[in-house]
Amino acid sequence: MLERMQGEDPQQSRGLLIVMTGASGVGKGTLRERWLADKDVFYSISWTTRERRPAERDAIDYHFRTREAFELEMQEGGFLEYAEFVGNFYGTPRAPVEAALARGQDVVLEIEVEGAMQVALSTPEAILVFIIPPSLTELRRRLEGRATETPERIEKRLKRAREEILAAHSFRYVIVNDDLDRAVADLEAVTRAERLKAQRMSLESLRRVVDS
């Protein structure tokens, strides 16, 4: 039976918006897949203009779009956030995220750091989780191991990763992804802590407690 991330109290009607971010190659995708394997949660699939990698599937890993289609969606305000990274655009479609939250379903975004900062500004209730590698040496090993990037592109990613990791202190939560099981447990702890915050309990729910 699927575990619902919404928690035990049905009065907490709006879902949590959990934003996972971090430098390219830190293992965000693997961590997210393991964490959400048994959960009833809406995972927002991003749009991107980059080329599809051999193992990737359209509308499952990303919505692969032309630059023209992406820019049109930008002009129409269709993205919750968007960012350009290493020459390609990435963006989160707004409508499906807002619909899922409104129906009480938790939503997880896995997005670039610049986009996560946009969400933090526009949606203060968003829960930002920054995933970092144990070291830049390990991050380089992971990027080279993917065999999908040129040496020049890897150096660009590492340069940007240094800057992003140093900015992680401004995020609400930081998780070191050096052990997958431990990182999953840390994410579970984050969602439990957020769900126990008093402001997520409606006044009507509290009245029911004292009146029962």
Q: What pLDDT, on the 0 to 100 scale, is given for residue 17?
A: 97
Reported as type and span, the H/E element at residue 85 is strand 79-85
Q: 171: domain CATH number?
A: 3.40.50.300
The burial of 112, by beta-carbon neighbours within 10 Å (0-12 exposed, 13-18 middle, 19 or more buried), is given as buried
Q: Is 29 annotated as a binding residue?
A: yes
Q: What is the pLDDT of residues 106-154, one digit of tens each?
A: 999 999 898 999 999 999 999 999 999 999 999 999 999 988 889 999 9
Q: Is 26 annotated as a binding residue?
A: yes
- pTM to 2 decimal places: 0.82
18 pairs with which residues across the strands?
A: 108, 127
Q: Is 15 annotated as a binding residue?
A: no
Q: What pLDDT, on the 0 to 100 scale, is given for residue 162?
A: 94
Residue-range definition of the domain harbouring residue 19:
3-44+106-211
Q: Is the pLDDT of residue 202 over 80?
A: no
Q: Is 23 annotated as a binding residue?
A: yes
Position 88 in a domain: no
Position 166 in a domain: yes
Domain count, the chain: 1
Q: Is 25 annotated as a binding residue?
A: yes
Q: Is the pLDDT of residue 11 over 80?
A: no
Instruction: State the pLDDT confidence band at 4, using cuts at 50, 70 and 90.
Output: very low
SS3 13: coil
Q: What pLDDT, on the 0 to 100 scale, is given for residue 189?
A: 96
Q: Is the pLDDT of residue 101 over 70?
A: yes
Across all residues in the chain, what is the average pLDDT? 89
Q: Is 24 annotated as a binding residue?
A: yes
Q: What's the whole-number mean pLDDT along residues 16-41?
A: 94
Instruction: State the pLDDT confidence band at 12, using cuts at 50, 70 and 90.
Output: low
- Higher-confidence residue of 40 and 207: namely 40
**Single-letter residue type at 39:** K
Residue 79: closest CA among 95, 68, 65: 95
Position 59 in a domain: no
Instruction: State the pLDDT confidence band at 7, using cuts at 50, 70 and 90.
Output: very low
With contact defined as beta carbons under 8 Å apart, do 83 and 70 qualify?
no
Q: What pLDDT, on the 0 to 100 scale, is given for residue 41?
A: 93
Decide the pairing of beta strands 17-22 and 127-132: parallel
Q: What pLDDT, on the 0 to 100 scale, is given for residue 99?
A: 96
Position 174 in a domain: yes
Q: What is the pLDDT of residues 82-100, one digit of tens each?
A: 989 889 999 999 999 999 9
